[in-house]
Structure 1
Amino acid sequence: MRMLGRRLAGAIVAVVLAHALPSAAVAQDKVKVGVFPVATSLPYFVALDRGYFKEQKIEVETVRLIGGPPTAAALIADQIDAASVLVTLEGMNTNIKKPGAAVYISLNSQSETYPMEQFVVRKGFQAKSIKDLKGAKILSAPGPGNVLMAKAALEANGLKEGDYRLEQLDTAQHLGALKAGTFDAGYTLEPTATMMRQQGIADTLETGVIARTVLGDPKADAFVGGGVISTRFMTERPEVAKRYAAAWLKAVADIRKDPESARRHLLKNTLVPESAINDIPMPGFFAVSQLDDKSIGQFQRFIDFSMKLINAPETVDVRKYLKTY
């Protein structure tokens, strides 16, 4: 009888454990995140690597998406719940097509203080400023946002279409294209620009291009991208969205407090080499709660300017698509 009792007790324990294990797994809420493996996605990498999503009982599924258009399309189609970074022009244009598809919980500032986009010129091509690029063959980072800003900056420097040739090219190919002499100059992003300078392939003509062109001040905050979640995600799973945002914003706080430590997360998550990790500049990461009226006003000016460039059918009030947690 004692043997039978022990066996029965063991069986009961096994059954209890068998039922307990699945419930532990269920405790992790899954969130699909579109991820572009670039420096502007740093909050995602920090939150993932430091376990902040796990702290919030969230299991993220990384959906690799290269550039803004596929990210916007995935948000519109409800294929992802959030995105590590989305160009704000493309995000607001997405909201015209499907209101609330892209709601920003943090924004990335680009300027001379936070260099990201810049014009570069290959070694051997005679140009000391953007206005010297007349007749040049110029590459651009891909996506309508980058191409339009490149053209706007060229126009602001007295160059109209026909004075140059501009082609968009995947950023990973920029270094090789300038080294080979296929292009004379480029509107490129970090860390590519730093790698070009380190290898003696190209020099920077101008940083803070968008802030100077659109806001009239190279040190102003040009909020060109940011981390987003969808309204569908917030509506259908509000508590999960809140926990996701908590993990995200904890990572943003880490970056602001100790950027040198945070930038190390780019090594295993992007193509940034060890030789460049300490030199590449990063954008300024801001939680939406940190934006004041002046910052939001600058953001609105950038979006208004950009929407005119793409002949958008309507204006967008940026405050509608900013979420504070």
Structure 2
Amino acid sequence: MRKNLAICTVIAVVLLIAAYAYFSSYAQTGKYQSQPVSNVIRVTYAQTGAGLPYFVAEDMGYFKQENLTVEAAGVSTLSSVTSSLLANKADAGIPVSFSDIIVTEAKQPGQFRAFAVGAETHDTNATGIMVMPNSTYRSIADLKGKRIGIGSGLNPLVVGRWKLGKYFNASNVTFVTMSSSFALAGAMASNQVDAIVISQPAMASAVKKGLARDLPNSTDAAIMDPFVVNDYVLTSKFVAQNPRTAAKFVNAMDEAVAYINTNPQGAMQILAAHTNTTVEQLKSGDNKPPWRDTVLVNGTFKDSEVNTSAMAAMQALANKYFAANFINDTVNVSNIVYT
């Protein structure tokens, strides 16, 4: 009897040890633990004035504060940012043109989540139509029948048509597409085009080099104030799979937006350093910042003339795209908002 009891006791001890080892191995391999949170995020950013929030977050150490590892790639156009996101080569786009967002949402809903919005207002100077310094053209109305240089992608074409359309039928001009904003001034100087639809910092650089001057009332805000030009986005897939990392990235970018709005001189220096320009080249002479007004997606655009929520501004422009037949279906912008 005692022998049987001893045998049973030994068996029980062996089973307990085996069970402990079994469950310990699971714990060590992480099967019964939550998987470690990845702090890596792939970012494609525009090497233009539109990339300013990213430049600030990088230079001011906001990504490091959030313990993020950013794998970044710079591109020359906003359309290239969009392509990178749709090809799953990036998790965040800094920024994506609003036209690309609307067209993508109409065709393939649910691709992006926007957390910040950049818009041209009457208090900013980030876009314009420019002509040669010695040109006889004094108004957009003088450009009827002319050759107009634009950047690649849908947005330059759309804003070009809408700006010119306030004065005459835009079909009365010939649009010539260039590879980047910095190629536009050179194309005009070599008489390939008569005027250019351009943005910062190429715009300020062209003025300082004596290559161009801007026409009055030619910023994007002449179309609509505020005029949403771009959104700062994450892919919906990344947000769903990495919610904590997504939140950290948004926090870092929020800090960058706050820095830009409260420290414009510091932001100017950072922009110059990242765009191969100087602070003097970026100054326009009218005390308006050479970047778009940027607010969080739940924020408000405030200038000398308007007080409009970012959501309302996006929806108004989305409706305008639909009315102008640039998209075949209406878009509810609340579906693309990061929450």
> CA deviation digits over 1:72-131, x for unaligned, max 9?
232223221101111111112222333222211111110231122211111332111101
- Aligned position for 1:8: none
Matched, 1:113 2:123: yes
Root-mean-square deviation (CA, aligned residues, Å) is 2.1
Give 1:278 deviation, angstroms. 4.0
> CA deviation digits over 1:139-192, x for unaligned, max 9?
11221111121012212211331x322112121112222222322111111122
> CA deviation digits over 1:257-280, x for unaligned, max 9?
111111211233223235414446
Matched, 1:100 2:110: yes
Tell me the amino acid that sits aligned with residue 321 of structure 1.
I
Q: Distance in 2 between matches of 1:275 and 1:48?
A: 23
CA distance 1:209–1:274, shift in 2 (3 Å) = closer
**Contact 1:27–1:57 under 8 Å retained in 2:** no
- Aligned position for 2:13: none
**Contact 1:76–1:94 under 8 Å retained in 2:** no
Aligned with 1:224: secondary structure?
strand
Matched, 1:45 2:55: yes
Matched, 1:306 2:321: yes
Matches within 5 A, 1:207-286: 207=217, 209-213=219-223, 215=224, 220-279=225-284, 281-286=290-295
- Aligned position for 1:12: none
- Aligned position for 2:211: 201
Instruction: Tell me which moved more, 124-133 or 189-198.
Output: 189-198
- Aligned position for 1:67: 77
Matched, 1:144 2:145: no
Q: Distance in 2 between matches of 1:289 and 1:263?
A: 25
CA distance 1:66–1:96, shift in 2 (3 Å) = farther
Give 1:208 deviation, angstroms. 5.4
- Aligned position for 1:81: 91
**Contact 1:28–1:57 under 8 Å retained in 2:** no
CA distance 1:274–1:255, shift in 2 (3 Å) = closer
- Aligned position for 1:21: none
Q: Distance in 2 between matches of 1:110 and 1:258?
A: 19
- For this pair of structures, how many residues does the alignment match? 293
State TM-score, norm by structure 2: 0.80
Q: Distance in 2 between matches of 1:84 and 1:207?
A: 27
- Aligned position for 1:319: 334
- Aligned position for 1:123: 133
Which residue of the other structure, out of 53, 57, 63, is the alignment partner of 2:67? 57
Give 1:43 deviation, angstroms. 0.7
Which residue of the other structure, out of 136, 161, 170, is the alignment partner of 1:160? 170
Show structure 1 runs of 4+ deviating over 4 A. Answer: none
**Contact 1:141–1:189 under 8 Å retained in 2:** no
Q: Distance in 1 between matches of 2:145 and 2:87?
A: 41
- Aligned position for 2:25: none
CA distance 1:110–1:77, shift in 2 (3 Å) = same
CA distance 1:281–1:66, shift in 2 (3 Å) = closer
Q: Distance in 1 between matches of 2:122 and 2:146?
A: 24
Q: Distance in 1 between matches of 2:111 and 2:147?
A: 36
**Contact 2:79–2:96 under 8 Å retained in 1:** no
> CA deviation digits over 1:191-242, x for unaligned, max 9?
22222222222221134543322x3xxxx21111121111111110100100
Instruction: Tell me which moved more, 294-303 or 253-262.
Output: 294-303
Tell me the amino acid that sits aligned with residue 177 of structure 1.
A
Question: Structure 1: any 5+ residue segments left out of the alignment?
Answer: 1-25
**Contact 1:211–1:222 under 8 Å retained in 2:** yes
**Contact 1:249–1:287 under 8 Å retained in 2:** yes
Q: Distance in 1 between matches of 2:61 and 2:70?
A: 11
CA distance 1:260–1:207, shift in 2 (3 Å) = farther
Question: Structure 2: any 5+ residue segments left out of the alignment?
Answer: 1-35, 302-306
Tell me the amino acid that sits aligned with residue 227 of structure 2.
A
Q: Distance in 2 between matches of 1:146 and 1:310?
A: 16
**Contact 1:148–1:309 under 8 Å retained in 2:** no
> CA deviation digits over 1:282-315, x for unaligned, max 9?
2111012323894222321112212444542211
